[in-house]
Each structure stands twice: as structure tokens, then as C-alpha cells.
Structure 1
Amino acid sequence: MRSWPLSAALLGVAVAMEEPLPKTLPTEVVRSLPTSFLDFAPSARAGNKHSNVQSLEDMFSALQVLQGDYYDADYGTWPTAIDWTAAFAQTLLSGALTTLTESLASFEPSISFAQKENLLMSYFHQLVGSYYGQDTLSIRGEAYDDILWVALGWLEAVEFVSTHSALHYPPNTTNSTDHQCLRQVLQDLPWHGHSWVPSFAHRSRIFWGLASRGWTDDLCHGGMVWNPRLSPYKNAITNELWISASIAMYQYFPGDNFTAPWLQQSAFPDRDPAHLAGAVEGYKWLVGVNMTNNQGLFVDGYHIDSRKANNRECDLRDEMVYTYNQGVILTGLRGLWSVTGAPSYLTDGHRLIQAVINATGWDFTRSQPVDQFRSGSLPPWRGIGRAGILEERCDASGTCSQDSQTFKAIFFHHLTAFCKPIETSNAHGIDQNHTAALHKGACAEYVAWTRHNAVAALGTRIDGKFGMWWGPGLFGNVMATKSSDGIDHDAANTTDYRDEGTPVDRIWGREPWSPGSEGVLRRQGAATIQENTNVREKVLSRIRTLAGRPPKEGNDPNARGRGRTVETQMGGLAVLRAYWVLSRSSESK
């Protein structure tokens, strides 16, 4: 067993929840298995062949650019990213490695195992390097969603280690104690990647514990607060991350025997009921607080109306819709189903995915966009996209912040996790063959839409780098602005704070926040409200300036704003990975 890295020992102590959460599954979220997970008639195209090796090649090409052009091995990070987008880059890298090892196990028999292993390990070493490159001390003081990206990311790395080891390094069952024999040692030695699991697990445990401070029962009867330094705001993303990280801790956390004099616990066990309870109660709260609009999409969150004396209710809903709020919860729902066997979790996940696809303007029955469109004009905005293309509200105008440039990657990463095949067994005392068939059939219906988005994303590449907005190739590179993109940017109760920052007002508070500002403030040492305001204005001024610039490469809408970045590259990688995995899964027997 390897010793703990010094950086792990310096991370500190996890914060236990003051009162353990209930450990029973709420009956109101346990419903019987439906006859179908589809809210529409299956299309005739559901059985068509989709996947080919070229889609795997495209995914790998996107990974090569992400790691070759944006990752710095000397510093163990993606230097142009901010803390939380770098944490997601690590998550996506782990997920891509899982897909590669699963795919290479059954492809290209002419290529030796040593060659495949050499390729995978070149990226795994970068993953390990990012463990040390992560600025954990700074992230500890950031918002709770930033903290939870770290916890979820290293659990994804643990999952890759488990998957790769199970595929290629099955445990030896000889039980020999002759460790003087080199042959026997070679047979018994587990894959070396396991030596990193204690470190990955330790960091996940630390950051899950830190995030647990964000759960408060005194406001809104529960739920996670977004940012402890601002007015109370209970948003979808922080609560979805809490649910997904909590159930992933229950599933993948192998335990942590780290000890120190200041710890009240001598060990942290695996399969801790507190992790399961955190996920179950978190989802119960999320469903009960009414966080979805009339299209079935998650809105951003709730404020507490300060005009009411002693008010403690979530009663001011922000109607802003971002793509990542539709994605992160999918991993949580899949995990909750895997652990509890309650079909309602799968049902809710499929309904959300179908709501998203419908809100991009996609016709399931015909496997094509709802609207006809012509080059040089924009089709109608349908709620979270147009012409079947997933889209942020900032995409067409080229005004996305560093935060928003990451969001579509997050959605497709978690869609991939949700739609992985169900292992048929008698788990939970139930024959899962029927559930597995229903789940596979529903996910097969999403392949054509995913392919549509993957092809659109591929059309934005210049020198292998993906653009933010995937629609220009379909729409004739139309140069849209906020006044011509067909979106009501002034809709009531809709604050695009992820792109424009929080207003300074009674609802949001007197201390402003701007996209990426926590990293900027840390580096510049700003401490006062006035300094915060100055930084926010600089960020917004920069966004406005970039948005007004002419394209760098001719008639290219994706050259506006921040242009092609590490975050937009993650979007391309994530959608290509989703297409490859979903298409292969739909064809498997």
C-alpha cells in the first residue's frame, strides 16, 4: 500500500452533518415500473444501425486536442480554465478513459494489449497530474457547487480505475502466499492504478464533507444553498450536484482510513448510509420545491422574498434555463435507481431527457427537427434550442461566459452516464430484464437526436477545435445578436447571472458575483464590496467588447465572444462520446 501524498494530508478534515439524514426511502418517490419509459410512440428508426468506428475516432480526436492543446503537464491543469471548469475537465477526462478502455477491449484485435495500455496510461498519467494541479485550498473557500464538482470528479476517476481493472486485470484466485516467486507476484499484482484510489477517494470525501455545510433546514424546509457569501439562493445545480455526488459516494467511495489528531473519526467507511440519505432526501426536496417549468425543464433556483417579515420560504423563482441544470441530476437518478431499485428514478430521468429533446425543436416520431428552415435565417427558439440543436441562450449572440461555455458538455456527460446499459440481475429481489429492455429501448430513441447534435458540433471545428454554438453550419453562419436571436432576454423573473453576473439589488444582494469572479478575486486579492464591483464591471466590459468583435476567421459566428476555448472543446468531446456510447448500447444484444 502506498503512503498518502503530502497534499492529501494537508487537505484538512471532513465536516460531518450535525444530524444524520433519514435512512428510509420516501414512499412518495417509489412508484411501480411503467409499461414504457417513452412519452411518445417509438419511431420506426429505433432499430436502425447508427454507430461506426469513425464516431470513436472523432471522439478520440477531440480528446487529443483537449489534452494536447489545452492541458499543461508541468502544472497539472488546464491553465485557461477556472477552478470549477478544470474540475469538470478532469471529470470528462475520466469518463472518456472509461469509454476508451471499454471500446478498445472489443475493438481492433490486431493491436496488442500493450499498445492499448500505453495509450490509456498516457492520459491516465495526466489525470493523476491534475490531482496535484488542482487548487484545493482555493476551492475550499468557494461556492458549494464549486466544491461539489471536485467531489464528483474524483469519484469518476475511481470508477475508471474499477472499470479498467475489471476488464483487463481480473483478481487472481490462487490465494498463494509464495511472494518470493516473481511469476506469482506478477499474477497476483493488481493494476497499478489502484494505488491512486485512496487519494482520489480521500479528496472526494473531504469535499463532500465540506459541501454538507450547505444543506440547511431553516430555509425552504431543506435544500443546498448556492453561495454562503451572498443572499440565500437555493439553485438547481447545487442541489443536483449534492444528489449526484452523494449517491456516487455511496456507490464508489471505497472508504478512507486517513487519520489525524484533529479528526473525531478514525475511519470513514464505504457504503455509508449518510451518503444514501443525502441523495434520497436531496431529490425529495428538489421534486417537492417545484423547480421545473411548464416544458418540464429545470429552472435555475429560488430566492426567499425579503419583503415578507420573517419569511423562510422559497417563493421567488428565477425562470432562467441552462442546459447543465438538465444534466447533472441524470447521474443522480441513475445512481438512485441502481442502489434502491425504485423505477420512479428511471422514469423521472427519461421524462427529463425527453423534455430537453422536445424543447430543442426535435420531432421524435420523424427523427428530425420540427421546424423547416433555410440558410441565412434562424428557426424558432423552442425553450432550450432550435432545429433539434441543444443551445444556451447566449450561443447565437456569441455572449457566453466561461461558465456557460461548459454547460452543454455537462449535459451530454451525464446523459451518457444515465443511458449506460443496465446489468440484468435479480437485484433488489426484482428481475431486471424487463427494466433493462425498457431502458435500452428509450435510450435508443435518443440516438438520432444525439447524432444530429454531434454532426452539428463537428461542423464547427477549426484545426480540431470546437465552437460554442453548434447551429451555424445548419443556419448558414447567420450573425445573430441578442436583439435578433429570437429569444426574449427580458422575460420576467429571468436573470442570466451565469453570463452577466448577479444584479446588485434587494433580491440578489449587495455583493455582486460575476462569471469566474471567485478565481479572479482570489488572484487579485480583492476583499471589499467596492473591489468586487470593480472586478465584475471589468469582466462584463470584457464580455461586451468580445461580443462586438468581428469574426477572426471570416464569416464564423463562433469566433465572436470568447471564441474556441478549453470549455467549448469539452462540449465537442462530450457530445461525440455520448453519440458513440448511446449508439453502441442501442445495438448491443
Structure 2
Amino acid sequence: MFRLFSLSLFLIVIRIVNSDSINESLNWAEVTGTRLVSCYYHNLTGLMLNEEKWQSGNTLESLANLISIIDSPLKYIFNRTFIRTDKSTGGNCYDDHQWWLLAWIQIYQVDPNVKYLHRAKDIYDTITKEAWSKNQCSGGLRWCPTRTYKNAITNELFLSSSMRLHPYTSILGKSSNYYLDWAIKEWNWFENSGMIKNYYLINDGLTSQDKSSLKNFISSNDNKCINNNGTTWTYNQGVILSGLALLYNATNNITLLNIAQNIADATIERLIYSNGILKEECEPNNCDNDQKLFKGIFIRHLGYLIPFIKDSSYKNKFISFIQNNTISILTKSRCEIDGLFGLLWNNNSSSSCQSVRNTATTSGALDLFTTLVKTKQSTTIITSSKFILFGLGNCIDEKNSSMPNFYSNRVNETICYLTAMNDKSAIAFDYQLNCNGNQFCRIRTLSDKHQTPPGFNYQDGIARNVTHTNKIPLTNCYIRRNNL
């Protein structure tokens, strides 16, 4: 009796350990990044389809962030994009170019070819030469070459860019404090500009004090600027976080870290739905294409901040916020028709496919998945589904063998899932969704041919379990929870 009890206890422990070994968020990050590149990356232009040029730079950083935690053949796009673009690819304004600047720095960290750093340096040099101006608002970067407007995002990006380049001064032929000095200069101006207003939230930008009725108007020689009370976009609360964290790390000025922490806390307390899910002010129906990925930017830079936070209560609060948003977007915002994630992370529609979605909104989902992986100390299963995402590719065993299976190319993912659920002997299922919308469902089962469900065919196999996946793009392997 004692030996039987011990064996049962051992089996239970083994299942718990195996279950914990699956990092569902990591798997979703890989699946999402692979779909973005496979279906929406344009090999001839080096840009993402259905995105603004600056957004392609942002998505490139998101992909490099993914590559920092997982070995993936997606890395090929970095050199391809470098060849297909130049330092002016981002767009017409100085904020546009800096999204690419940050992307090249992140790419260098996962693919250390110095050409990426030099591309970032070239963009930075152009900005310092052209964009900084004391003629309006006593300093700061103006938004565009033809605009005098001083806004938050352009200057936040410059702070972050300066600090991200700071470790590479010797490689880039700069004096040891060159980028740090620019960062300090930028922050001193930004902190006193008035853009950080009530509750530590950052408004869109500045306007002339004597022309405050003209929201974004700044005359050519006007040093009397005030907060324009513009929208507190989520990305304005995000980019500043990484810049302040790195500036704190370089100067040991704890005030910088406290300010960053307060901005992050204000955002997750105030720019949310009633259930704590992040919300853009323009939601649900008034967001333009630019605004569709703002939330992902906030999450990514919140993730950059978290390792520097010393207060465990705040750190745990921020990680919990990221996890809750990840669960919400995964359960409410993914459309099975195209595999894309929608704008609304708190989607209450009866169908997740009714939400506005494109590569930009899906890039935001990638930021969520990747950031959760990087900030949590242990692996985790984040959904309560009976089948959880086991990995990218077909479900196979340790000998690369396939199980007996029922298969069909005439069912959607929901039907595939429900059919697997109803088959008590189903171990796993894999579902392929090609870029053109073609679908294929394969249920890995120990049932025999006579139990083939209607609309499915039977295929024999020699494997009796599923231990890993073969990483075939655009195919997801889901494994039954009680078989872990």
C-alpha cells in the first residue's frame, strides 16, 4: 500500500514539474513574431505591410526583443532590412527616425555587427545637428524639420536613444560622456518643460503661453511655452521609463527611478478600463493607424524599467499588470481567421474578429508576450484552456515521429479544438493557418480508425506521445493539459 501511494505521489509531482516547464507566453511570442514576419514582412522594401514606416522600425525593435530570449531563424530580417533601408527610412519627422535608431541598437545586442550601431549613430548625429533648438521653449527637440512644435515623444525618444548609445561611445568614436551629457541636457529641459503634469502623467506637448488657444502653436522665437493639455497617450508614459531607468543607472540618482516608477504607476492606475486592462483614450472606434500600437510601446518600455526597480511591491504590481493584460489579449483579442490580435485588449465583442486589427496591433501583442517572459522569474501557463500552446510547429515525439491522427482541411481552429476536446484519447492537436487563410487541423490521438469524427480522415502513426515540435512556421501545436 505504501509503495503504491508513493508511486501515485511521484506521478503527480512529475506532472506539476512538466506543466511548469511550459512557458506559454514564450510560445505565443514566437508564434506571433513568426506570423508577422512570414505573412507581413516585405522582403524587397524591408518594411512591414500595413504599417507606417516609423511603425516598421518599432516592430523591428519588438522582433529584436523577441530574439533576445529565443533562438529563431527570424533573425535573417535584420541584415535584409539593413540592406533595404537607410538612415532616413523612418519618415518625415525626428520622432519617426528614432524608432529605427532604437531598433538598430536592440538588433546590435542580438546580432553584434557594428554596422547596426553605426546606422543608429548616423541617425542620432542628424538629430543632434538639426532638431535641438533653443529658439522655442528654451530647448528641446522640435517634432519635424518644418515644424516648431515641441512634443513629448520626440524628446523622450532622444533621452532613451542617448542612454542606449552611451555604452558604445568608444566603438563609435565619441568621448566617454558624449551621449550621457546629451541625456542629462535633455532630461533637465524635459523635467522643467511642464509636460509632466497631474498624477505624473505626460501630456502630448507644449504650446505658446500667449497662444494657448492654438493647441500646438509655437512661434519661431517663443520661450514662453506651457503644457498644451494634449492627450496622455500610453506611449508617452512608456518611452520615458527606459530613458530614466538607464539615466539612473549611469548617475545613481534615485530621484530619476522614483519619477519613472510614479509615471508607470499612474499609467496602470488611470489609463485603464474598470477591470485594469490598458486603454488608449481613442478606443474603441477613434484610433488612427499611428495610435494602434501605442500600448505595446508602453508595455515594452515598462519591461525595460522593471529590472531596475528596487521596491518589490511595485515590481510585483507591474508584472501582475503585464500578466493580466496578456491573459486578456490572448483570450479576447485574437482572431482565428488571420491569427492577428486586435486593438482592444479588453474586447467585449462576441467575436474577437470584429475588433480593428492589423500588423501594428499584433506588434503590440508581441510586446506583451515578450515582456511577460522577460519580467517573470519562472515559466508560467497563462490560460485556463484544456489545451495550451506547446510550441511552434507540428506536434511530434522525441524521434520526430507522428502519432495516429484525425485530420481535416475543412474546419476552423475552434472546431479543431472542440473536436480534440471531445476525443478523450486526444493527446494534442496542431493547427496550421497559412498567410492566404488556408487551414489544416490534425488531432494527435490514441483512438483507432473507427472513431474518426465526421468530416475528418484517419492517418496511422507510430508515436504514442508528444514531446516537442518541429518549428514549422504558421503551425501551432496545442497539448492537452492533463497530459503534461
Tell me: CA distance 1:242–1:335, structure 2 relative to 1, closer, same or farther (3 Å).
same
| 1:524-567 Cα deviation digits (max 9, x unpaired) | xxxxxxxxxxxxxxxxxxxxxxxxxxxxxxx547635xx32110
Contact kept? 2:101, 2:124, Cα under 8 Å: yes
Return the offset for 1:72: 2.7
Q: Equivalent residues in 2 for 1:43-58 (5 A)?
A: 53-58=23-28
Tell me if 1:249 matches 2:136.
no
Return the offset for 1:160: 2.4
- Which of 465, 470, 484 in structure 1 is aligned with 2:340? 465
Contact kept? 1:222, 1:285, Cα under 8 Å: yes
Return the offset for 1:457: 0.9
SS class of match (1:234): coil
* Counterpart AA for 1:94: A
Query: Where does residue 123 of structure 1 map in the other structure?
Result: 74
Tell me: CA distance 1:253–1:456, structure 2 relative to 1, closer, same or farther (3 Å).
farther
Tell me if 1:394 matches 2:394.
no
Query: Where does residue 208 of structure 1 map in the other structure?
Result: 124
Query: Where does residue 36 of structure 1 map in the other structure?
Result: none
Instruction: Tell me which moved more, 62-71 or 275-284.
Output: 62-71
| 1:299-321 Cα deviation digits (max 9, x unpaired) | 10002246599642113513311
Query: Where does residue 339 of structure 1 map in the other structure?
Result: 250
Tell me: CA distance 1:227–1:75, structure 2 relative to 1, closer, same or farther (3 Å).
closer
Return the offset for 1:448: 1.8
* Counterpart AA for 2:282: C
Tell me: CA distance 1:61–1:350, structure 2 relative to 1, closer, same or farther (3 Å).
same
Tell me: CA distance 1:586–1:251, structure 2 relative to 1, closer, same or farther (3 Å).
farther
Query: Where does residue 72 of structure 1 map in the other structure?
Result: 42
Contact kept? 2:88, 2:97, Cα under 8 Å: no
| 1:129-159 Cα deviation digits (max 9, x unpaired) | 12123354454x7111012112211111122
Within 2, Cα distance between the matches of 1:419 and 1:575? 14
Query: Where does residue 276 of structure 1 map in the other structure?
Result: 180
Within 1, Cα distance between the matches of 2:297 and 2:211? 36
Contact kept? 2:203, 2:227, Cα under 8 Å: no
Tell me which structure has the larger Cα radius of gyration.
2
Tell me: CA distance 1:316–1:410, structure 2 relative to 1, closer, same or farther (3 Å).
closer
Q: Equivalent residues in 2 for 1:526-565 (5 A)?
A: 555-556=350-351, 559=354, 563-565=356-358
- Which of 419, 425, 432 in structure 1 is aligned with 2:306? 419
Contact kept? 2:87, 2:97, Cα under 8 Å: no
Return the offset for 1:387: 2.1
Return the offset for 1:469: 0.7
SS class of match (2:69): helix
Tell me: CA distance 1:355–1:52, structure 2 relative to 1, closer, same or farther (3 Å).
farther
Return the offset for 1:291: 1.1
Query: Where does residue 320 of structure 2 map in the other structure?
Result: 448
Tell me: CA distance 1:208–1:456, structure 2 relative to 1, closer, same or farther (3 Å).
same
Contact kept? 1:233, 1:304, Cα under 8 Å: no
Return the offset for 1:575: 1.1
Query: Where does residue 468 of structure 2 map in the other structure?
Result: none
Contact kept? 2:335, 2:353, Cα under 8 Å: no
Tell me: CA distance 1:86–1:392, structure 2 relative to 1, closer, same or farther (3 Å).
same
Query: Where does residue 154 of structure 1 map in the other structure?
Result: 104
* Counterpart AA for 2:102: L
Within 1, Cα distance between the matches of 2:247 and 2:379? 22
* Counterpart AA for 1:128: N
- Which of 138, 149, 159 in structure 2 is aligned with 1:221? 138
Within 1, Cα distance between the matches of 2:121 and 2:159? 14
Q: Equivalent residues in 2 for 1:34-113 (5 A)?
A: 53-100=23-70
Tell me if 1:133 matches 2:133.
no
Tell me if 1:321 matches 2:232.
yes
Contact kept? 1:145, 1:241, Cα under 8 Å: yes
Tell me if 1:577 matches 2:370.
yes
* Counterpart AA for 2:99: W
SS class of match (2:228): strand
Within 2, Cα distance between the matches of 1:276 and 1:60? 35
Tell me: CA distance 1:465–1:396, structure 2 relative to 1, closer, same or farther (3 Å).
same
Tell me if 1:302 matches 2:219.
no
| % identity of equivalent residues | 25
Within 2, Cα distance between the matches of 1:275 and 1:142? 24
Contact kept? 1:440, 1:586, Cα under 8 Å: no
Within 2, Cα distance between the matches of 1:239 and 1:132? 28
* Counterpart AA for 1:419: I
TM-score (norm 2): 0.67
Query: Where does residue 539 of structure 1 map in the other structure?
Result: none
Within 1, Cα distance between the matches of 2:367 and 2:321? 14
TM-score (norm 1): 0.56
SS class of match (2:124): helix
* Counterpart AA for 1:469: L
Contact kept? 1:83, 1:135, Cα under 8 Å: no
Return the offset for 1:52: 5.6
Contact kept? 2:268, 2:276, Cα under 8 Å: yes
Query: Where does residue 408 of structure 1 map in the other structure?
Result: 295
* Counterpart AA for 2:234: T
Query: Where does residue 358 of structure 1 map in the other structure?
Result: 269
Instruction: Tell me which moved more, 338-347 or 577-586.
Output: 577-586
Return the offset for 1:573: 0.7
* Counterpart AA for 1:449: F
Return the offset for 1:385: 4.0
Instruction: Kindly report the root-mean-square deviation, in angstroms, between the aligned alpha carbons of the 2 structures.
Output: 2.6
Within 2, Cα distance between the matches of 1:131 and 1:138? 10
| 1:308-366 Cα deviation digits (max 9, x unpaired) | 99642113513311110011011101111221122112111111111111114xxxxxx
